[in-house]
Amino acid sequence: VFDLELDSLEIEMVQKETIHPRKSYKMNSSCADILLFAAYKWQISKPSLLADGKDVMDGTTTSKYWLDIQLRWGDFDSHDIERYCRSKFLDYTTDNMSIYPSPTGVLLGVDLAYNLHSGFGNWFPGLKPLMQRAMNKIMKSNPALYVLRERIRKGLQLYSSEPTEPYLTSQNYGELFSNQTIWFVDDTNVYRVTIHKTFEGNLTTKPVNGAIFIFNPRTGQLFLKIIHTSVWAGQKRLTQLAKWKTAEEVAALIRSLPVEEQPKQLIATRKGMLDPLEVHLLDFPNIVIKGSELNLPFQAIMKVEKFGDMILKATQPEMVLFNMYDDWLKSISSYTAFSRLLLLLRAMHVNTERTKIILRPNKTTVTQSHHIWPSLTDEEWIHVEVALKDLILADYGKKNNVNVASLTQSEIRDIILGMEISPPSLQRQQIAEIEAQTKDVSQVTATTTRTVNAHGDEIIVSTQSPHEQQVFSSKTDWRIRAISAASLHLRTHHIYVNSDDIKESGYTYVLPKNLLKKFICVSDLRTQIAAYLYGVSPPDNEQVKEVRAMVFVPQVGSHQSVSLPQALPEHTYLADLEPIGWIHTQPNENPQLSPQDVTAHAKILNENKAWDAASTVIITCSFTPGSCSLTAYKLTPQGYQWGKSNKDTGPNPQGYLPTHYEKVQMLLSDVFVGFFMVPEGGLWNYNFMGVKHSPSMRYNLVLGTPKEFYHEQHRPSHYLQFTQMETATETAGADREDLFA
């Protein structure tokens, strides 16, 4: 406002002051937001309100003039903004805390709740009418004030009077194909970057061309707005800017269309787009803006070569129109066409190469120049759709460790639409397997049993039903497991390090083989054991973490988790080492980090500030047939927040996602060796004397080699039973004295 009026108001310079963040909530003092410097000295009036007509000049002059802007949320009892401005101006100009750059200025107040504004202070000629006009305009159409007001309303939950539109889910998904025009707005590909290493070895990002995806599911019409990299030149906070840029482009597109073609509903595929769209579409109050619970795969559009190449090669921003349904609507409904498109895009997202092969069922398949997808007959499309569905479900099953055969039809629909579902329980999988077995068993096995009743009569019964014939054996029989544990050393010859889907950019962890071999040899095939890892980074490479010590602490475990004391290891030998994380065994290999591990790791990080979330890992050592498989994970910030707040210790807690962790690179080495620390006295396995273990127990550490899981010191009660049995047999046979003994 002032930059446009420099000459008319005789302003030499307008300066925006740097504000301390505490200004917003420190109410007993204030400071200037804008400072004006005069070209010549201004005549200054006595303090008066913005709305007052006549200003009285008292002969005071100044060359500096400040403006202090105050935003407030008025309440029913006190929303007289004029009174507020007057009292604040008089308070702040007379106290010792507020540091204003000159004695003359004005305090402007805005009440966001009641949409009122005023000002009180000294005025110079021409300023008051300008401020009246400017403030009226700002109150009416300033997007920043609008966003702030909406955020405060959301925070205070003042939405009772406004009906909120239900989000798009797999239940109301059929409404997309009604007669009104609906658009999807997808901003996933707007701000895209390539990552490369600089000469110094740092990672840096460089923007590449992106695109806004605006799609009508009923007609298949796609408005593809290419966003050229020049848009980001000289801008900051680009991720945030990309959302506002998207909303701006959507509003521009709507304005350019005739009223009958304008959409009645906009569905934002990402919730972060709702605010920007709402602000930019203030001129279109009849357009309903809503979010989506469905994670629709529109970002995979870039994997279609036609789009990917065109967007990358673009030299300027442009709007391109396509029909995503080609000529499908001649033979199928828009509902079927949209479902087919989702299948194609989600399969592209899951496995691009495999999808391209499926889309070319034979050599004669061609894609016409004005089409996006290959031209196939309806029968061929049916085969392709089934293959794509299988591809998507197989990927889901692998990622979530779920048997695809146990998924219900509604779950399959939700997976393809992108609705978040909790993976089906193991129990249901077992039911499905048992049902499948009963169908498979065609031959009937007859069983004959002979019993004798109380009168001594012999009864012979033949049954053909398979009831009570299943033989159960306890998995927790320690005797069998103790014998099996004797062969654990053979597994150390076959150790595999899992390197699928690892993150290339993080730390690399090096584990000495001597520590790992001993760790495996002292473990148990079913009950989990754990140890803390400590190490250092070599002086020449900060990105490598070498494990130097493995610390065994008192613990009890089950096949799903392991309980460690809350107190972390402390010893002079560990003082120069940094915590690297912890390692634990598990009876079988999981494709993902278990939620129990995420919760346990987040708890350690939360309670111990010495542990750094970025550099501490969880290593799982899984017993696979005849071998061991190692995988290293670190928590993402999202995983840390979830683990910290998770109270559900069950196998499938709510909200757990594969994005809560990342796999990291791990190597085994025999170039250097590590050492062990064990509790004083050598006892670390409390599984056979669980009552002695408690989370709050204290322990001292010594340098030493850990005793094996079934060592006699770990199970004194068993040896007590053995001695009792021996003494019992001795006393039983002592009725005759042996004279020759």
Tell me the pLDDT tens digit for each residue of 94-109.
Answer: 988 888 999 999 999 9
Please give the pLDDT value at position 345: 93
| Contact by Cβ (8 Å): 210, 190 | yes
Nearest Cα to Cα of residue 605 among 615, 593, 619: 615
Which range among 29-43, 500-514, 515-529, 673-687 shows the weakest confidence by mean pLDDT?
500-514
712, 726, 729 from 735: Cα distances, Å: 33, 16, 12
- Please check the confidence at residue 500 and state whether its pLDDT lies above 80: no
pLDDT of 428 reads 66
What are the tokens at 145?
A: 């004030």
Residue 461's pLDDT band (cuts 50, 70, 90): confident
DSSP per-residue string spanning 98-139: -B-SSS-EEEEEEETTTTEEEEEE---TTHHHHHHHHHHHHH
- What's the mean pLDDT when you consider all of the chain? 87
CA angle 439, 442, 446 (to 5 degrees): 120
Task: Please determine, for residue 719, whether its predicted confidence score (pLDDT) is greater than 60.
Answer: yes
* Residue 197: CB atoms within 10 Å: 10
- Is residue 580 within 8 Å of 547, Cβ to Cβ? yes
The amino acid at 354: R
Residue 483, pLDDT above cutoff 70? yes
Confidence of residue 733 (pLDDT cuts 50, 70, 90): very low
State the average pLDDT over residues 143-147: 83
Task: Tell whether the model's pLDDT for residue 71 goes beyond 90.
Answer: yes
Residue of 315, 716, 350, 675 lying closest to 531 (CA atoms): 675
Reported confidence tier of residue 209, pLDDT bands at 50, 70, 90: very high
The arithmetic mean of pLDDT across residues 598-615, rounded, is 89
Residue 163 confidence (pLDDT) above 60: no
Residue with tokens 């054991």: 529
More confident residue, 444 or 188: 188
pLDDT at 511: 93
Segment 72-83 shows an average pLDDT of: 89
Give all strands of the β-sheet with 210-215 in edge-to-edge order. Answer: 288-290, 265-268, 182-186, 210-215, 221-227, 318-323
Bigger pLDDT: 212 vs 625: 212
Quote the percentage of the chain above a pLDDT of 70.
93
More confident residue, 431 or 708: 708
Residue 710 has pLDDT above 60, yes or no: yes
CA dist 524 to 484, 591, 709, Å?
9, 21, 6
Assign 518 a pLDDT band (cuts: 50, 70, 90). Answer: very high
pLDDT band at 337 (very low <50, low <70, confident <90, very high): very high
737 — pLDDT class (breaks 50, 70, 90): low
Using H for helix, E for strand and C for coil, what is the string for 57-102? EEEEEEEEEEEEEEEECCCCCCCCHHHHHHHHHHHHHHCCCCECCC
Residue range 267-296: mean pLDDT, rounded: 88
Beta bridge partners of 452: 458
Q: Tell me the C-alpha distance between 273 and 191, whole Å.
A: 13
Percentage of the chain lying above the pLDDT 90 cut = 41
Mean pLDDT of the region 295-308? 89
Q: Do 39 and 65 form a contact (C-beta atoms < 8 A)? A: no
Which CATH architecture is the domain 173-324 placed in? 2-Layer Sandwich (3.30)
pLDDT at 469 over 70: no
Give the mean pLDDT of 516-532.
Answer: 93
What are the residues facing 663 on neighbouring strands? Answer: 502, 633
Task: For residue 226, name the pLDDT band (cuts at 50, 70, 90).
Answer: very high
Q: In Å, how far are 297, 340, 349, 381, 420 from 416, measured between CA atoms?
A: 9, 10, 12, 17, 10
- Identify the band that residue 528 occupies on the pLDDT scale cut at 50, 70 and 90: very high
Give pLDDT, residue 343.
Answer: 93
pLDDT at residue number 143: 80
pLDDT at 223 over 80: yes
In this structure, the strands spanning 34-45 and 57-72 are antiparallel
Reference 206, options 198, 215, 214; nearest CA is 198
- Tracing tokens 């805005």 back to the chain, one arrives at 110
Mean pLDDT of 566-595: 91
Strands (E), 312-369: 318-323
pLDDT higher than threshold 60 for residue 139: yes
DSSP per residue, 509-570: EEEEHHHHHHHHHTS-SSS--EEEEEEE--TT-TTEEEEEEEE---BEE-SS-EE--SSPP-
Calpha distance 516→497 (Å, rounded): 12
Least confident piece of the model among 50-59, 283-292, 618-627, 646-655: 646-655
Model confidence at 726: pLDDT above 80: no
* SS3 assignment for 219-278: CCEEEEEEECHHHHCCCCCHHHHHHHHHHHHHHHHHHHCCHHHCCCEEEECCHHHHHHHH
Between CA 384 and CA 361 the distance in angstroms is 8
Neighbour-count burial of 68, counting CB atoms closer than 10 A to its CB (0-12 exposed, 13-18 middle, 19+ buried) = buried
How far is Cα 612 from Cα 624, in angstroms, rounded to an integer?
Answer: 31
Predicted structure pTM score: 0.48
- The answer on pLDDT for 146 being more than 90 is no
**Residue 228 pLDDT more than 70?**
yes
Architecture of domain 2-141: Alpha-Beta Complex (3.90)
Q: How far apart are CA 451 and CA 430, in angstroms?
A: 34
Over range 302-310, report the average pLDDT.
89
pLDDT band at 369 (very low <50, low <70, confident <90, very high): confident
d(CA 440, CA 731): 57
Q: Which CATH superfamily hosts domain 484-716?
A: Cytidine Deaminase, domain 2 (3.40.140.10)
Domain boundaries, the chain: 2-141, 173-324, 484-716
Average pLDDT on 112-134 reads 92
- At residue 452, the pLDDT reads 85
At 443, the pLDDT band (50, 70, 90 cuts) reads low
